[in-house]
């Protein structure tokens, strides 16, 4: 049996996941930063948090998996995209472990981890993927060796939209789940900017407008209207990409995939086309948000595809790196 340890540290979450070569999830330990400021996640504060919790999260993951460090066969870490100082904490720990125990190391793309984890666990073959999280908002399909982007946000992500609006209401991170609960109490739709450009979405105008209305309208109506507008935009572009790619399955991945309203809206659209929709539910729901398991899975997939491990002095981090820059050898 091969054991893979994955380290996640792109943004708010420091996570360590351990899986085996049959893709049994042996542990999923995490610590999530609750940002103190009013501007969202400060990169320095995230790095400080990650370095403080790193060892304990690592030990917790090993303990739950009932393994020792020397039992680990492969180390993987999130190379980006994310906050530079935060990424370097995970990368440094991964390099240290790979060096001390002389193990292969794989720097992997965080967003690709969300995609592959969800596609694997929902047993989908060749889906259109709606990746919606704090770091990503994109529609992707696999084509000629890579996950290609068929539509995306041109500015902020949908997770950011909710978190920023929630901060304006004095709600702490993560704001998305609170907005979802508030939206259930909304009774009246307030007209907000709907901004779709081809297959792409633009959210910053929507955020500014909704934020400007906070003192003028009922906050439950605003949360409801914000969600309805943002999700209608996402459904429109997902439907267009579905028709263009002619896929028979849709997979929703990332933290915002936990939102039931989004899931039901996508499902209604998909049913019109006779297309199946999946996301992580039940016990697996917690894997929608950032975690070390999605990173470990990629390490395993590269290893099994015969991809050589990366030389330690080439294990860089990248604040910006797109999913469509990554070769996906296990799907070729």
From CA 102, how far away is CA 71, in angstroms rounded? 12
* Binder among 17, 107, 254, 299 for ligand AMP (CB under 6 A): 254
Task: Name the residue with tokens 């081809």.
Answer: 198
Q: Convert residues 266-295 into a mask of x (bound to ligand AMP by CB under 6 A) and - (unbound).
A: -----------------------xx-----
Smallest distance from Mg ion to CB 80, Å: 11
Tokens linked to 297: 């899975």
Cα 69 to chain centroid distance, Å, stands at 27
Interface with ligand AMP by CB under 6 A: which range of 175-183, 198-206, 214-222, 273-281? Answer: 175-183
Nearer to Mg ion, 135 or 174 (CB): 135
Evaluate whether 126 touches 120 at the Cβ level (below 8 Å): no
Does 116 participate in binding Mg ion (rule CB under 5 A)? no
CA dihedral 298, 300, 301, 306 (to 10 degrees): 130
- Residues 179-218 touching ligand AMP, rule: CB under 6 A, are 180
The answer to the question of residue 135 lying near ligand AMP (CB under 6 A) is yes
255 binds ligand AMP (CB under 6 A): yes
Which of helix, strand or coil describes residue 182? helix
DSSP 8-state assignment for residue 255: G
Which tokens go with 32? 């999530």
Which residues 94-133 are close enough to bind ligand AMP by CB under 6 A? 133
Binding-residue total with ligand AMP (CB under 6 A)? 18
SS3 content of the chain, % helix, strand, coil (to 5): 45, 20, 35
| 3-state SS assignment for residue 27 | strand
Chosen residue from 105, 290, 297, 326 binding Mg ion by CB under 5 A = 290
The answer to whether the CB of 252 falls within 8 A of the CB of 118 is: yes
Q: How far is the CB of 104 from ligand AMP (least distance, A)?
A: 27
Nearer to ligand AMP, 157 or 310 (CB): 157
Tokens 């990368």: give the residue.
Answer: 91
Burial of 122 (0-12, 13-18, 19+ CB in 10 A): buried
Q: Could you say whether residue 8 binds Mg ion (CB under 5 A)? A: no
Closest to ligand AMP by CB, 43 or 177: 177
Half-sphere exposure of 283 (CA within 13 A, CB side): 3
For residues 34 and 225, what is the distance between their CA atoms, to the nearest angstrom?
Answer: 26
With respect to Mg ion, which residue has the nearer C-beta, 120 or 240?
A: 120
Kindly state the smallest distance separating residue 55's Cβ from ligand AMP, in Å: 22
Of 176-184, 203-211, 276-284, 314-322, which part binds ligand AMP (CB under 6 A)? 176-184
Kindly tell me which residue out of 17, 82, 135, 159 binds Mg ion, with binding defined by CB under 5 A: 135
Polymer length of the chain:
332
By CB under 6 A, residue 15 contacts ligand AMP = no
Q: What is the contact surface with ligand AMP in residues (CB under 6 A)?
A: 133-135, 159, 162-163, 174-177, 180, 254-256, 258-259, 289-290
Residues in contact with Mg ion by CB under 5 A are 133, 135, 290
């Amino acid at each position: 049996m091969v054991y893979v340890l994955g380290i996640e540290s792109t943004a708010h979450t420091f996570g360590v996941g351990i899986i085996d070569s049959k893709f049994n999830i042996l542990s999923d330990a995490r610590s999530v930063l609750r940002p103190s400021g009013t501007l969202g996640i400060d990169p320095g504060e995230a790095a400080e948090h990650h370095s403080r919790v790193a060892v304990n999260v690592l030990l917790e993951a090993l303990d739950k998996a009932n393994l020792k460090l020397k039992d680990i066969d492969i180390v993987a870490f999130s190379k980006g995209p994310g906050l530079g100082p935060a990424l370097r904490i995970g990368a440094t720990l991964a390099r240290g472990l790979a060096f001390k125990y002389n193990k292969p190391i794989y720097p992997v793309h965080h967003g690709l981890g969300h995609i592959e984890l969800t596609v694997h666990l929902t047993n989908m073959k060749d889906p259109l993927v709606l990746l919606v999280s704090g770091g990503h908002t994109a529609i992707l399909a696999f084509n000629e060796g890579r996950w290609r982007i068929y539509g995306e946000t041109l500015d902020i992500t949908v997770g950011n939209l909710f978190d920023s609006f929630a901060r304006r209401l004095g709600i702490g991170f993560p704001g998305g789940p609170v907005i979802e609960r508030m939206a259930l109490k909304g009774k009246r739709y307030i007209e907000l900017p709907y901004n779709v450009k081809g297959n792409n979405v633009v959210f910053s105008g929507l955020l500014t407008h909704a934020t400007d209305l906070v003192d003028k309208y009922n906050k439950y109506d605003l949360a409801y209207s914000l969600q309805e507008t943002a999700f209608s935009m996402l459904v429109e572009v997902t439907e267009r990409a579905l028709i263009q790619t002619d896929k028979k399955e849709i997979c929703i991945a990332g933290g915002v995939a936990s939102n039931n309203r989004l899931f039901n809206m996508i499902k209604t659209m998909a049913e019109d086309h006779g297309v199946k929709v999946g996301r992580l539910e039940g016990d697996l729901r917690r894997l929608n948000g950032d975690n070390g398991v999605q990173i470990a899975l990629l390490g395993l997939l590269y290893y099994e595809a015969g991809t050589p491990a990366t030389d330690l002095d080439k294990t860089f981090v990248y604040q910006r790196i797109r999913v469509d820059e990554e070769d996906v050898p296990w799907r070729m």
